[in-house]
Amino acid sequence: MTATVLVAGVVRGLSGFGTGLIVAPIAGALYDPVTAVVLLVIIDSLPTLPVALPVVKLARWREVLPVLAGLALFVPLGVYILKNGDETTLRWVISIVILACALTLRSGWRYHGPRGFPVSFGVGGIAGTLSGIAAIPGPPVIIYWMASSLPVAVVRANLMTLFLISEVFSAGNLWLAGLFDQTRVTLGILMIPPYVASLAVGTKLYGIASETAYRRLAFMLIVASALVALPLTELAFRWLVSGAQTPF
């Protein structure tokens, strides 16, 4: 888990997103979806303040606020699904959503439709639901903003600002749902130091690595983590192991 967190921190520092997309499927496979969400809320809240606060001034609030409104309203729905949903089904949903996001970004598809309040609010609603289910509000918002004509620096600032504020709603709803327990919280606290260190490395690399390079890196890591965490991959791995252990 530590290696996954280290990789996620570097990607987050570089691009402004990626922690949830990388950590959620792996943590869900290693532990369970609830533990994955609690872990992400802990490591991606206060530890990101030193990185997120300096770029908040670059965020365009007229873009952020409508998305944030939809997100805040729909987080409770996502938490309800997380608390009552089937673990295997949730893992499938998380992995498929992440793969769809990554492939959409990689394809170069651009959204050219309206960008008024209703659309932004709707994008925020989808993000809020995914935030409650898996602490991954990113996919719809990343696709929405990265397909815009906004400068990369502004997209990065918008994403980091939105994710920082969204953690407040996620943490509150998880607490009310009784999903914080000692084991999960302890795991989250233990992962804070490696995450902070790798986040600092990623932030230093921002501006050094080209935009193309870090987008390609993020894409490969996101796809790899989603594929590794697919329940089908786990079944295939178990089959290979059992086959290797079967005497001829």
The predicted-structure confidence for 143-175, as pLDDT tens digits, reads as follows 788 777 778 788 888 888 888 888 888 888 888
Domain-embedded: residue 246: no
Domain contains 248: no
Tell me if 53 is assigned to some domain. Answer: yes
Question: Looking at residue 71, what is its pLDDT?
Answer: 92
For 43-90, write each residue's pLDDT tens digit: 877 767 777 788 888 888 988 999 999 999 998 998 899 888 887 788
**39-43, 165-169, 211-215: least confident range:** 211-215
Residue scoring higher pLDDT (22 or 78): 78
HEC letters along the chain: CHHHHHHHHHHHHHHCCCHHHHHHHHHHHHCCHHHHHHHHHHHCCHHHHHHHHHHHCCCCHHHHHHHHHHHHHHHHHHHHHHHHCCHHHHHHHHHHHHHHHHHHHHHCCCCCCCCCHHHHHHHHHHHHHHHHHHCCCHHHHHHHHHCCCCCHHHHHHHHHHHHHHHHHHHHHHHHHCCCCCHHHHHHHHHHHHHHHHHHHHHHHHECCECHHHHHHHHHHHHHHHHHHHCHHHHHHHHHHHHHHHCCC
pLDDT confidence of residue 215: 63
Count how many domains the chain has.
Answer: 1
Q: Is residue 151 part of a domain?
A: yes
Residue 130 lies in a domain: yes
Domain, as residue range, for 154: 2-240
* pLDDT classification of 247: cutoffs 50, 70, 90: very low
Q: Is residue 231 part of a domain?
A: yes
Give a yes or no: residue 117 inside a domain: yes
- Is residue 245 situated within a structural domain? no
